[in-house]
Each structure stands twice: as C-alpha cells, then as structure tokens.
Structure 1
Amino acid sequence: MFEAAGKGTLFLDEIGDLPLHLQGKLLRVLQEKELQRLGSSGKTVPVEARIIAATHLDLQERVAAGLFRLDLYYRLHVIPIRLPSLRERREDILPLANDFLATYAKKLGKAICGFSQDTRSLLFCHDWPGNVRELANVIGYAVNMEATAWVQVGSLPAQMMQLQAAAATEKAWTENGGGAGQKQIVTLKELERSAIARAMQEVRQRNGRKEEAAALLGISRATLFRKVREYGLS
C-alpha cells in the first residue's frame, strides 16, 4: 500500500489497534522512508507518501498499558487533530441522518421521504456512543424496516430504543429526586420537549436564532414556535 500511494496520501485507519509486532515494522518504514518487498533480494522501494493516521482509542493510555509503542506514537503525533464526538456536535446529527437515509433508500429502492417528528427528536437526543458509524447503522436498519413514506420510531433498532428510554428515565428519576412513587416512564412528548429544550440551549449559547434550532431539529420555524408555546419553553 505504501508503494501504491506513491507521492500521495496514505490513510491508516484505527492505528491504535495495530499489533505490536507490526508497529515496529511500520516505525521502521516511517523512519527510513523505504521498504523492502517480500521475496526481494535486498532491493528497497522509497516511501514518499504523506501519512494520516486515525484511531478511536486514547493512544497515551495504550502507551501506558504497553500496547502501543512510544516511539511510534511520537513519530505519528506531529499535527494532532481531535474530532469531537457526535454528541458534542448535535447540529450534525440530522443532516447526516438525512444523507444516510437518501443513500439507503436509493440502495434498497424505497420511496422514503424523511423522518417523523418523534423519530427526529429521538435521533437528536441519543448520545451516539458509536458516533457516525452507529448513526449509519441505525438509519440503514430503519430504512430496511420501514414500510411507510416516513421513518417511524418503531422502525429504529430495539436496542437503541431501550438505551434511550433507560437514559431518559434515569434523568427524569434523578431530576425528580429519585423518591418512591415517582413516575419512571418517560413519554415521547417528554423526549420531544427535552430535544427542543436542548436545541434551544445550544443555539442560545452561540447567540443564534430560533430558526437555527428549528433547522437542528429538522422541523419548520412555525412548528418550533408552536411547540415552544405548547411546552412552555422560552
């Protein structure tokens, strides 16, 4: 792959999962800027590609645990770029979901127009521990399951629904003091209210307008204003 990259760019994904015995070989190639083909008699090939490596793991923790070479870490750690998780950039959730929806709908030959309002609220509220890959898989599953023109909540994976319900219930239970006799089931209206409140808060923090919150939620400006009045939000 180094040879095929030539003078271009070589992307090494999930570098943190590379076994130790291969880390040494990679380090040698990066240091010497050349490699030797398998079966060749000493002839080397120059390596001129720019290297970009990515990982979802904490490499410093891997180094401390003896699972990643310190010298390779510093060889790669020239210009580090941290990409925030999906839950840190919720404004990207619905646009990405729409893109995945269009892709899967076309691939499966389904005439799906979009997501129901309840589904948009759930997608926006979910914490997405698996980030964009999890989102893509969830949308792919939903498109496969959906039989109408709009993706309904019931078409989302059961596991996601269970996690979302558990998280929302725990949050409501904590906010209510966790006392005996308190309601332990969170309704879709409560989830919707939470999603709208969160979108409004995010927009407010960057001195944005309510129209931006509507865009985040994938609903019209008029619908947002109606929901804000309905739920007593400001």
Structure 2
Amino acid sequence: MSDPVIDLNADLGEGFGRWRLTDDEALLEVVTSANVACGFHAGDPSTMRRVCELAAERGVRIGAQVSYRDLAGFGRRAMDVPSDELADEIAYQIGALQVFARSAGSWVCYVKPHGALYNRAVGDEEQAAAVVAGVVRAGGALPVLGLGGSALHRAAEKAGLPVVAEAFADRAYTASGTLVPRSEHGAVVTSPETVVERSLDIARDGVVTALSGERIAVAARSLCLHGDTPGAARLAVRVRGSLQAAGVRLEPFA
C-alpha cells in the first residue's frame, strides 16, 4: 500500500498597506500551496507581488483566494451579489494575481474562495455557478479548491474544471460534514495538540471528529492551515513534521 499524500495550503498575503496579518515568509517554508489574497478581502498590489515572488522562489504553488468585495469585514460578512457581477469580480481577482505570478516566473495554479463566499458556495448553487463562471472568464481550466461534495465542486465539474477537496484541521465540523459557522462556540480548534491529531486523522484515515463527537468521513487532497491565527507558523511546522514522521508525503496537487 502506497503512502498517503496530502497538500498543505495556507491563506497568505492577508494584509493591506502597512498592516500585515499573516507571517508569509515563515508559512511559505512549510506549505506546498499558497492561497494569495487578491485585494477584495485583504491584500494589495505590492503584497501580492511580494508573496508571489517568495512562493516562486520556494517552489510553492500559487492559488487565487477570491472573495466578496469586503475589505472592512475581511470577507467574512454575508453578501448578496448578482451572479454576473460576482463572476466578473472573480475573473478580475484572478487576472490581477496572474500578473504578479507571471512576473515572478510562476503562474496561478488554482482558485479557492475565501470566508463568506466559501461558505455560501458550499450549498448555494447560484453563487457557486457564478464563482465558476468567473474562473472560466479568467481563462484556463484552473482547478477549484473547496469542500468535497459542495455546490461549488458540482458547478466546477459541470463546467469541466478539475476539483480538489480540502479539509480543515483547525475548524470544527458538523455531523453532515460542513464547517461549523465561526459565530458558534467551538467553531475554531485552538489546541495545537488537537490540530496535529486531526491533521493525522484526515491525511491517513480520511476521518475527522465532528463537534458532536461523531467520527465522519472527509475526502481531502489538501489540508488547510489558517495563517491568521496566533502562532500559525509554529503550528504549521508541527503539523508538517508530524505528517512526515507518520509517513505522509507532502506534495502540491497542482
């Protein structure tokens, strides 16, 4: 039996001007894929350029982390955006990041929604289709990274785009396999030991313990490590080391 394989992705470039939220340099030494903020929930041109250059130097794959236009709310506020407008905004964000990725000698390898858009696209067929339409408008059959079995993945498959399932070691799950909303108690897993244990469960066995205590199946080719939590870089190092010690191969999916 071959060793399990997983990608490690993290949200990077989540700053604006003089404000920085993520330790991009440290996390890029650990992850294999970087979800780069494209300016709508965080990020600015100089930040995008810098992260793309750092990622390219380290051989880390660059992904466009697209969002609702919500800098004030960090992309985590529910919004109702007309489908055609949302598709244009998705294409715009991908195109902007592509400029800096190519300038760095790399390219945008995949697309992942952020925050409220990510959660909305899990079950909202219309908004999911708009995200996919935006990916298509940006050109190229870019893989779509998201929750397995989501409306987003169904829309992507219908459009002929590759889909990649991801899981979260530091977010709580419902018994039905969706993420517990951040507004609810226990939605974010803060214990480093628990995060490491959950990472191993996901990568080796394809299971995670839901908030209810049930063990549920999760299909994941990529594991997300949130970069905006305190001590994120140190935790990422622990997760990577534990996975490798357990015989899990770390390889980008793109």
TM-score (normalizing by structure 2): 0.25
Quick check: which one's strand share is greater? 2
**Which of the pair has the greater relative contact order for Cα pairs under 8 Å at 6+ separation?**
2
TM-score (normalizing by structure 1): 0.27
